[in-house]
């Protein structure tokens, strides 16, 4: 049961946990994205509840939700909308595309060609869409949750590495544990036994105004100067890892940008808020650093040859740079 005295964000997090078994990191990051207005890239094999989790979030905040299935024949206008000629009046009228929603699920983003991906990534950064020379703002809550299936490589279009920076977080999903998988099955059987085969529409945990209010509160979470230095040092280390770990010299082609510094700070503030604190702890930063940095690092060929992964590189830097 949701405790009605809990702060709205705790109630929201609880509500997500009722719809999704386990996957605690994904659920935390969904809430962090909501709390920062940052976009989320979720990578995972089929059937790991990517779509279900995003839908549960949209239900819980009672936001306008739209799923866009990315396919090879999709056009940028299918996302942004287009000017349509109205024969009756002889006028052009703008018909908004699916991007004009609070929460947009961009499913299997790597199945659409680069120009469609770019239209999405641009809208994510600008929070506005320009069609026919007219710029229109997207809703204030606007949040993109994109999914990517790492298996399906043939006939897909890799995301432009240079634009991945626009995602606040990159979450890599793993299989649930055995006991969790059993609970997923139990839950499914129970729902059918109760005669509610579809996920019941959940009690409203938060409305859009409450989300925007929480976003303001998150930006006021205290981030001590020593932790600001730590964040900057971590991100800079991804550009020149050899300065901290000699064997990593020359392994990186490009590291995190200043946007990565802001992303790590804002995400850590949101995690602190979610955990009920009004100040950031080093552990908030350490926990989120892999998901903030993973997709912003372009490894050099040498790293591929040696089998060095981005995660291993980030882990080595986290070990080498002492937390305050
Ligand atoms: N952790 C979980 N908790 C509850 N249900 C789950 C969980 N994992 C999977 N499921 C169930 O498995 C089914 C598949 O989930 P879903 O469609 O969300 O997967 P997906 O990751 O979006 O897959 P795809 O990549 O094929 O789109 C759903 O019925 C969902 O309820
Ligand atoms: Mg899905």
Q: Name the residue at shortest CA distance from atom 15 of ligand 1.
A: 49
* C-alpha of residue 289 to centroid of ligand 1, in Å: 26
Asked whether the predicted pLDDT for residue 97 surpasses 90, the reply is yes
Evaluate: CB of 149 within 6 angstroms of ligand 1.
Answer: yes
* C-alpha of residue 213 to centroid of ligand 2, in Å: 30
Closest CA to 31 of 18, 14, 48, 13: 13
Q: What is the 3-state secondary structure (H, E, C) of 119-130?
A: HHHHHHHHCEEE
Ligand at minimal distance from the CA of 26 is: 1
The predicted-structure confidence for 289-310, as pLDDT tens digits, reads as follows 999 999 999 999 999 899 999 9
The predicted-structure confidence for 18-28, as pLDDT tens digits, reads as follows 889 999 999 99
- The stretch 133-158 carries a mean pLDDT of 84
Closest CA to 167 of 138, 148, 151, 146: 146
* C-alpha of residue 257 to centroid of ligand 2, in Å: 30
Asked whether the predicted pLDDT for residue 153 surpasses 90, the reply is no
DSSP-assigned states of every residue in 53-91: HHHHHHHHTT--EEEEE--TT--HHHHHEEEEEETTTTE
Evaluate: CB of 150 within 6 angstroms of ligand 1.
Answer: no
Length of the chain (residues): 324
* Mode of pairing for the β-strands spanning 167-172 and 298-299: unpaired
Structure confidence at residue 199 (pLDDT): 56
Structure confidence at residue 3 (pLDDT): 42
Mean pLDDT of the chain: 90
Q: Which atom of ligand 1 is nearest to the CA of 22?
A: 1
Evaluate: CB of 20 within 6 angstroms of ligand 1.
Answer: yes
Structure confidence at residue 62 (pLDDT): 82
Q: Which two tokens stand for residue 212?
A: 């925007």
- The stretch 269-288 carries a mean pLDDT of 96
- The stretch 183-204 carries a mean pLDDT of 75
Structure confidence at residue 4 (pLDDT): 43
Structure confidence at residue 5 (pLDDT): 44
Share of the chain above pLDDT 90, in %: 65
Contact 60, 203 (CB under 8 A): no
Spell out the long-range contacts of 57-60 with Cβ–Cβ below 8 A and sequence spacing 24 or more: 57/16, 57/30, 57/31, 57/103, 57/145, 58/102, 58/103, 58/105, 59/19, 59/199, 59/201, 59/202, 60/12, 60/15, 60/16, 60/202, 60/204, 60/205, 60/206
Distances (CA, A) of 109 to 113, 118, 160, 165, 317: 9, 11, 11, 15, 30
Full set of structural domains in the chain with CATH: 8-194+204-209 (3.40.50.300), 220-320 (1.10.8.80)
Of the segments 64-68, 206-210, 219-223, which one has the largest average pLDDT value? Answer: 219-223
- The stretch 58-76 carries a mean pLDDT of 90
Q: Which atom of ligand 1 is nearest to the CA of 149?
A: 25
């Amino acid at each position: 049961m949701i405790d009605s005295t809990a702060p709205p964000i705790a109630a929201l997090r609880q509500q997500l946990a009722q719809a999704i078994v386990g996957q605690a990191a994904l659920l935390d990051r969904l809430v962090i994205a909501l709390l920062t207005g940052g976009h989320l890239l979720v990578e995972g094999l089929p059937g790991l509840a990517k779509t279900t989790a995003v839908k549960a979030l949209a239900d819980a905040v009672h936001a306008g939700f739209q799923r866009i299935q990315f396919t090879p024949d999709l056009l940028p206008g299918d996302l942004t909308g287009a000017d349509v000629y109205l024969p009756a009046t002889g006028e052009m009228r703008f018909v908004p595309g699916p991007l004009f929603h609070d929460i947009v699920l961009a499913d299997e983003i790597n199945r659409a060609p680069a120009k469609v991906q770019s239209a999405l990534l641009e809208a994510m950064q600008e929070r506005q869409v320009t069609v026919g020379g007219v710029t229109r703002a997207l809703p204030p809550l606007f949040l993109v949750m994109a999914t990517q299936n790492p298996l399906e490589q043939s006939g897909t279009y890799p995301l432009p590495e240079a634009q991945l920076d626009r995602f606040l977080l990159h979450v890599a999903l793993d299989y649930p544990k055995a006991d969790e998988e059993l609970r997923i099955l139990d839950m499914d059987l129970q729902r059918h036994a109760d005669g509610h085969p579809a996920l019941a529409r959940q009690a409203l945990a938060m409305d859009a105004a409450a989300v925007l209010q929480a976003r303001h509160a998150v930006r006021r979470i205290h981030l001590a100067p020593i932790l600001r230095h730590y964040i900057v040092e971590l991100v800079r280390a991804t550009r020149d890892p050899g300065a901290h770990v000699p064997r990593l010299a020359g392994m990186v082609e490009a590291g995190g940008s200043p946007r990565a510094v802001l992303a790590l700070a804002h995400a850590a503030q949101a995690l602190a808020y979610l955990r009920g604190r009004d100040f950031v702890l080093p552990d908030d930063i350490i926990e989120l650093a892999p998901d903030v940095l993973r997709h912003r690092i372009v490894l050099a060929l040498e790293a591929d040859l040696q089998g060095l992964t981005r995660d291993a590189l980030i882990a080595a830097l986290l070990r080498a740079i002492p937390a305050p």
